[in-house]
Every structure is written in C-alpha cells, then in structure tokens.
Structure 1
Amino acid sequence: MKLPSTLPASAVLGLMLLFLVGCQSDQQAAANGADVARPPAAVDVRTLVAKDIELKETSSGRVAAFREAEVRPQISGIIQKRLFEEGSTVKKGDVLYQVDPAPYQAALESAKAGLAVAQADLNSTRNKAERYRKLAAQLVVSKQDTEDTTAAWKLAEAQIQVAKAAIQSANINLGYTRITAPISGVISRSSVTEGALVSAQQTTALATIRQLSPVYVDIKRNALTAMKSSQQTAPEVLLTLEDGTAYPETGVLKSSESSVDEGTGMLNARALFENKDGLLLPGMFVRASLATETVRNALLVPQQGIQRTPNGGTSALVVNTENKVESREVVVTEAIADQWLVRSGLVAGDRVIYSGLQKVKVGDTVQPLEDGKPVDDGSKATGSGESDDDDAGNPASGQKQE
C-alpha cells in the first residue's frame, strides 16, 4: 500500500501544537522541581541581649606638670657655683646657685655702721633736748631753741628705724646670693655656668623646676556631653600611653573651663593623676577615656546590620520566629567599637541579620546562623557571644571617639 506523499496542513499544525505543549510542561516541571530543591538562603544573625553598658568619651590629651616654677635671680652678681645636678630631684629651699656675696656683705656692714652712727646721734640729741628743757624752765633759753632740740631728738629716733631697715634690706640681699629652689621637683638644665653675670631684670630663667607627682592631663571634651555630666560625681579617667599600653593609675577629672574653644568647639578640661613611677612626663601625648553615662538594658547591633533608608533614617532586617525576614525602623546613636547602640526599634531576643543582606529581601524564608551554627528560633541563641557572667556583672563599657 502506498502512503500519500504529503500530509494535510491541519495535521501538521496539530503536531506542532502537541510538541510545544509537551516542551512547556517539561520546563514547568523542571522549574517546580528546582523550587522544591532550593534551600533557604543562609544569613548570619546576632541575637540581641539587653545589658547595662557604660558609655565612655575618649579624647587626646597632653601631660602637664602639677607645679612649674622658673628659677630667677633677685639680685645682680657673678655666679660662683652651681650646686645641683641637672635633671635631678630637688627639694624646696635647696641652694641651687651661689652668687658672689662680697658686695652684699659689705653693704650689710655699712648698714650696721649706719645704725651705730644713728644711735650715737640719738644719744646726743636726746641729752641736748633734756638740758634745754631744764634751762627753758629757768627761762635761760628760748622756747624756740627748746622745741628745735626736741625735734632733733625725734628725728634721731626716726633715723634709728631707717638704719635698722637698711640692715634688714642688706641682710635680705645677702640671702639672695644663695639662689634656692622655690618648689620641690625635677630641675632642668642650667642656662648659665659658673662665672656668668646674672641680674634681677634678665628675661632668661636660670633653670625650671617641675613637680611630676601628681601630674595634670589636659584633654578636650564634647561640650554638650560635659554639660550633661557636670551635675554628676567627678568621673574617673583612664589613660592609654603612646605605645598602646594602659596607664596603671586612675585619674579624676578636676576642672573644666567656663567657655568653649571657638576654634575646636570643644571644652578644655583637666584631670589629675598620681605619677609615682614617673611614667608621665610633661608634653607627652596620651589618650584619655572617661565614663559619661550608664545605659540600662542597652542593645548593641553590629554596624553591618544597620542600613540607611531613602528618607534618611536607619533600618535593620530581622528574622522572625518563622524564619522570615522583616524590616524594622530603628534609632541608633553612639558607635561603640564595631557596633551601634540602638535606642529604639528593636527588643532583646530579636535576631538581626548582619551578613548576607544582599541575598535576601523582606518576606524571604532564611536559615539563620549564629557563630556559624544554625538557629531555629530566638530562644536558642546566646546573643553576641558574651558570657552570662558579663550580663549579670559589671556594666559593659562603650567608647565614643571625640
């Protein structure tokens, strides 16, 4: 039997439709199979744990001496001796320099001689005044002569006081030939040597003494933060040295200026530290940290978990109890290390996504991981890796950079 060489057009069209329907069914089945096989996206989460934290303000600072005094001559003369070792510790009253005392010793002897002359003149005028008073009673001398001798007597008495004052002044100047330490502390290099001529009017100090225990640390504070904490007890201050090591002693904030620095917008403040080991030297750069506020039941979120919204706010993606992604509007304030302090929008137990954000969107089902381990719901999470002892013990600390 011979088959027809051609098929009707309707038959060909029907075969093509059947073929297309079969292909579509296969593709749909493949797609459905892929959806069933694809697991939820894995995301890293941090389960929030409420704890008390202590906010800290940090600032750069400079060490300053507790007391600093320049050694200056109070008389003129030639330096005969320098009686201290440069860089050593001296005590108040120690003799540092000896100025040639000869001229001042001579001036003292002259003043003493002047007192002797004044004493002799006083004796003479007193005797004369007494004789004239007796003669005046006998009308032998005039009243004017009697008054003149009495006035001379009083003048001689005044000259005694002048002579005594001259002796005292000469004694003081003689004492100034021994230049002493005005305070206790470490003395600097000497600006003069033996044989140098010094004077009370010179502009250059002979040396400088600095008291180095305790010492001040001058810091700059945020003016608003300082005003908020001004009514509280003076906060303790911690120091970090230039090499990154912590200074062992704790300081106390002692004073703040009454005006804000117009150039920096900061408030200059001063803290006091013990310095028995001499680790702090004037001019040294340090980092100061002081507690400003204790936040009760604070929540800290990794900075990667906070996103900016189009309206300028901030938000976070949270995994709910059904492992679905939700978006929360949040308010964050201080940055503490690599975390944000959340003031509102989240609660303890929330699981915030901080890694894998680009793989998910609101409404997606995800597989939350915490510390690399799957987390079924918020009740099994331990939080940010902190121990229970930390939650129950002292407040955690957070630092704000200034």
Structure 2
Amino acid sequence: MSIRIFITYVFITLGIVVNAQKVLSTDEAITLALEHNYGIKIADNTVEVAENNKDILNSGYLPSLTGLAGGTIDLQDSEGQRAEGNPVIAEGVETRRYNASINLNYTLFDGLGRLYNYRRLKEQYQLSELEARETIENTMIQLFSIYYSIAQLSENSEALEETIAISKDRLIRAGYQFDYGQSTKLEVLNAEVDINNDSINIINIRQQLKNTKRDLNVVMGNSYLETFDVDTEVSFLIQPNKAELLEKTKANNVSLLQAERNIAISQFNIKTNRAQYLPAIGLVGSYGWNESSTDNPLAFTVQSTTSGISGGLNLTWNLFDGGSTITQVKNSKIALENQQLQREQLILDIERNFNNSWDDYQNKLLIFQVQEDNIKTAQNNFERTEEKFKIGQVTSIEFRQAQLNLLNAELSRNQAKYDAKLAELTLLQISGELLNVEL
C-alpha cells in the first residue's frame, strides 16, 4: 500500500497529466519579435531620425524667409522757431512709427560645403539602416538561442519522464518481489532513491522551462500571453559551398558594410572641411513697409508711408581663421586613415570568424550524427539489459546504469542537435545571409 501511495504522490507532484498547449512556430516568434521587441523599435526610430536628417529640408539648399514687424510710440517736448521769428513750443508731442518686412536670405555658393554635408547625411542614413539590421540580426540570434533552449528542455523533459516511468515500473516490480520474498528491502529502497532523484530532475527542468519561456516572451516584447510549446523539429540548410559563402560574407557582412559607410562619411568630412577655404556668396532681398505719423507742429509732414523692394549679393571669405580649418582638415584625414585601417583589420577578423564558424558548424553536425548513432546503441543496450533484469540475470545497479546511459545519450543528442542549429545560424549571421534565408 505504501508503494502505491508514493507513486500516486509522485504523479500529483509532477503534474504528469499533459495539457495541450499551442505550438509557437519559429516564423510566428520572428514576426512577434519584429513587431514588439523594444530594441528593434528603438532601432527603427533611429533610422527614422536619420531619414529626417537627410531630407532636403535639412540640407541647407532652401532659402530662409523671415517676417519682421514692429511699432513705436514717442512722447516728446519740442521747442522751435518759425522763419518769421515766432517761437513754437509743443509739449507731449506723440509720434507713431510702424514697420513690417519680409526678408529673404539664400546661400548661392558656400564652397560646396552643404553638398558634401548633404551627401554625408545620406551616408549616415544608410549607416543607421545597417545598424538597425545589426540589431535585428542580434535579436534573431538571441530569439533562436532561447527558442531552441526551450525545445531542448522540452525534449529533455520528455526523456526524463520516460526515465521516471521506467523507474516507477522498477519500483513496483521491486515491491512485488519483496512482498513475495524474491528480493530484499534494499532493492525497494534503491528504487525509491532513484525515482526520487528522477523526480527532482523533472521538477528542476520544468522550472527551467518556465523561466526560459518567460525569457523568450521578453524578446517578443511580452506580446505572447498564452502558455505555449515550441516546435522541436529542426531542419538544416542544404550544405553550402564554403568559397561561395565566404564571398557573400565579404559582400554582405553587416559590420563590414558599416565600415564602408564610415569610410564614405569620413571622406565627406574632409571635403566639407576643405570647403571652408572657399568664399561664400549669398543673396539677400526684402520687401518692407514703414509708416510714421506725428502731431508735432514743427514737422514738415505729419504722416509718411514708404514701401519697396531691396536686394543684393554679399560675399564672405574667411581669409584666415587662425589655422582652425587647416587643423580640421588634417584631423579628418587622420580619421579617414583610421577608418580604412579598421576596415582592413575587420576583414581579417571576419575571415577568421567565418572559418571558425564554418569548422564549428561542420564539427557540430558531425557530433549530432554520431549522437544519433549513439542513441541506437544505448537503446539497444537498454532493451537487452531490461530483458535480463526481468529474468534476474542482471542486478538493479546494472539496470540503472543502462537506464542512465540511455538518458545521457538522449540528452547529449538533444544538446548536439540544437548546438548544430545555432552554429548554422551564427555562420549565416557572419555571412550576412541570416535575414535572406528561410529559417
């Protein structure tokens, strides 16, 4: 009776009853992350800011148009003398003046500085797009890493549940054998210890599974409120050609593309600074209206109104600014050289990382294949040991060892499968193909 109570307790504690849950596919997880991940949203906003900056409205090519208006009132005492000699005194004379104007200011030529600045802003926009792409790629790697951790934990949980089911059968068998005097109490105690260890392992792995699912939901912007399972089926891409993939890496790697954009920006910085050596020519124009009125008896006119258009050109040439422009040009040339050196260093790093990732992927694929074969051997060994255990030809310790060998083989196979898949994704990220292939 105590054995049955113990088994019932284990069933209740572990929640063996399986509830059907929705399976979250990788495509759905990607879609949710692209829509709701906060890092991606921030990257999108940064791209939008860069797009605004490269607009014609921020280029300096458009003229500025300002409107001015004002009015003044003066109260003055005045004293004068007319031609015939009679004095004239006026106290509290009020004079009103009103004016309004529209002024145009347009730079016709500034040494091509705004042209290079405009092109630099376009390069910065492309750089921000590449930075957003890098954020998306890193988020996808993070998402898949967590997603496949859930898949591995799910498969490990299934393997442990199969193990504990076998341990329960062994406990029942040991209890019957003890009841009928065919074994000692030690066999029952050993079986109970093993089933307790298996139960603890399942409790721990289920908690890990819950925590990891929460991690995945954070990457998806906490947008998936349902409980869910993940797809444990993994398919690998058709074996790529190494040389071809290396060429794609040199052409599409996001870090390398960013380095090229930074070089272009540095080149435009040099040209923008050099533009300060040349003069600037500006066009100015205005339309103005002025009116004044007074009750001063000494004034020739008590009211006057003027309006008209004026225009002109101005030239500004900073002949010497204390050497500031010379220093800026020199420093911008050094900055360009540094960007070029960083690109050369980056090429070496990327080629090394590509070769490392390629070998890592090939090795992990091979390990996965070996582990698949190892599963068959461990399963065959366990089945033979189980048959002998039932007829008393092997001890419970030998049977437990065969059981653990099978479990470890299954756990190792699961680890190898998802390690190989993540290695493949890392290789695709380095080659710049992560967002271009069907995952």
Do Structure 1 and Structure 2 share a fold, with TM-score over 0.5?
no
Greater per-residue strand proportion: 1
With a CA cutoff of 8 Å and minimum separation of 6, indicate the structure with the bigger relative contact order: 1
TM-score normalised by length of structure 1: 0.22
Greater per-residue helix proportion: 2
TM-score normalised by length of structure 2: 0.20
